[in-house]
């Protein structure tokens, strides 16, 4: 398996030259665009890693998966989905499309920024408590107690996140946002700044692929029903406005982030974490996508086959 991962990394490395590191959050510009790493944990818990798998990166939009999970645990399906939809969209992840219509439109889904800002607002807790709850559950899932958020990345996005700020105020205006706008935004920017490496990410993938059980203890920390909902939303919306093509070519429930991470949960109980900060036009890791496409074929992971 390690040989296969090494081979796929080398095969897809050339793609990094066609991508670009995210620069709209200045702190992300420091990443090395040539980095690629992967970690895969099979159904039995055996780990295989290759490339720059040990490099830490901020999870960015991947945090939307965990925020959705905690929001569902706190509020139930109805409480969450009356404020955010479950429909894919062909608009980019940071769009405020439909948020300024006179009718009661809600954000399309929880995997784009507008929807995720709503789910973050639904997480119980004041101030720092929301992000602390996300960090707590991520530490539990990964058994890595060093997981925390990166202050520099947080401040960098807080300073430059004007579009997210505009989205949040529109949501507030529509009555879709609980609590103080700036407090919700701080929680959202902090959750995006949580740092992990490919191994941590693969453990989160394993947790999802095994319906809410923790790799180390096998403890069930979330209902199977919630995980099933999350996996369906990852499949239809996890790669933003590339989710349709990704489903055709890869067919693994996945979620990407603009720092270059991709979290994937395969049907056979396999968890995968990929890193490659050079992004394509949709904001997905360009080489990460290439690797997952190949891996899906090699290991028969496409859920539609
Ligand atoms: N923090 C980023 C933002 O809100 C997350 C977006 C992403 O990873 N696609 O713009």
Closest approach atom of ligand 1 to CA 62 = 8
Q: Is the CB of 61 under 6 A from ligand 1?
A: yes
Of 149, 150, 60, 159, nearest to 111 by C-alpha is 60
User: What's the pLDDT score for residue 254?
Assistant: 98
Segment 260-289 mean pLDDT: 97
Task: Note whether 2-60+196-299 and 61-192 share their fold.
Answer: yes
Closest approach atom of ligand 1 to CA 257 = 8
User: What's the pLDDT score for residue 100?
Assistant: 77
pLDDT digits (tens, 9 = 90+) for 172-203: 999 999 899 999 999 999 999 999 999 999 99
Q: What is the pTM assigned to this prediction?
A: 0.97
- Beta-carbon contacts of residue 78 (< 8 Å; ≥ 6 apart): none
Query: Atom 4, ligand 1: which residue's CA is nearest?
Result: 113
Rounded mean pLDDT of the chain?
96
User: What's the pLDDT score for residue 104?
Assistant: 67
pLDDT digits (tens, 9 = 90+) for 217-248: 999 999 999 999 999 999 999 999 999 999 99
Q: Is the CB of 260 under 6 A from ligand 1?
A: no
User: What's the pLDDT score for residue 98?
Assistant: 78
Query: How many Cα atoms are found within 13 Å in the side-chain-facing hemisphere of 45?
Result: 7
User: What's the pLDDT score for residue 96?
Assistant: 83
Does 64 qualify as catalytic in the annotation? yes
Q: Is the CB of 164 under 6 A from ligand 1?
A: yes
Q: Which tokens belong to 305? A: 């086959």
Cα separation, 137 vs 265, whole angstroms: 18
Residue in the block written with tokens 């409480």 = 79
- CATH code of the region 2-60+196-299: 3.40.710.10
Q: Is the CB of 283 under 6 A from ligand 1?
A: yes
CA 238–ligand 1 middle distance (angstroms): 12
* Number of Cβ atoms within 10 Å of the Cβ of 247: 20
Domain boundaries, the chain: 2-60+196-299, 61-192
Q: Is the CB of 95 under 6 A from ligand 1?
A: no
pLDDT digits (tens, 9 = 90+) for 11-36: 999 999 999 999 999 999 999 999 99
Q: Which fold does the domain 61-192 belong to in CATH?
A: Beta-lactamase (3.40.710)
Question: What beta strand segments (E) does the chain contain?
Answer: 37-41, 47-51, 57-58, 195-196, 254-256, 261-265, 271-275
User: What's the pLDDT score for residue 99?
Assistant: 83
CA 61–ligand 1 middle distance (angstroms): 5
Does 240 qualify as catalytic in the annotation? yes
| Identified catalytic residue from 48, 188, 246, 289 | 188
């Amino acid at each position: 398996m390690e040989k296969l991962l090494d081979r796929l990394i080398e095969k897809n490395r050339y793609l990094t030259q066609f991508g670009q590191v995210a620069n709209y959050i200045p702190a992300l510009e420091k990443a090395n665009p040539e980095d690629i790493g992967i970690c895969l944990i099979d159904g039995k818990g055996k780990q295989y890693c290759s490339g720059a798998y040990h490099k830490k990166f901020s999870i960015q939009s991947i945090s939307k998966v965990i925020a959705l999970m905690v929001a569902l645990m706190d509020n139930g399906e109805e409480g969450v989905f009356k404020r955010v939809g479950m429909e894919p969209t062909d608009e980019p992840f940071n769009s405020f499309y439909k948020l300024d219509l006179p009718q009661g439109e809600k954000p399309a889904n929880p995997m784009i920024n507008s929807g995720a800002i709503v789910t973050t607002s639904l997480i119980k807790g004041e101030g720092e408590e929301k992000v602390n709850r996300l960090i707590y559950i991520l530490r539990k899932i990964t058994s890595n107690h060093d997981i925390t958020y990166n202050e520099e990345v947080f401040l960098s996005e807080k300073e430059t996140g004007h579009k997210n700020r505009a989205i949040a105020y529109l949501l507030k205006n529509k009555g879709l946002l609980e609590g103080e706008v700036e407090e919700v935004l701080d929680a959202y920017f902090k959750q995006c700044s949580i740092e992990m490496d490919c191994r941590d990410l693969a453990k989160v993938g394993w947790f999802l692929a095994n319906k809410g059980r923790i790799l180390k203890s096998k403890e069930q920390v979330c209902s199977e029903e919630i995980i099933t909902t999350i996996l369906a939303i990852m499949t239809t919306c996890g790669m933003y406005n590339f989710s349709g093509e990704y489903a055709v070519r890869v067919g693994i429930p996945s979620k990407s982030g603009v720092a270059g991470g991709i979290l994937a949960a395969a049907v056979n109980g396999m968890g995968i974490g990929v890193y490659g900060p050079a992004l394509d036009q949709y904001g997905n890791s360009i080489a990460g996508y290439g690797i997952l496409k190949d891996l899906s074929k090699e290991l028969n992971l496409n859920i539609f086959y």
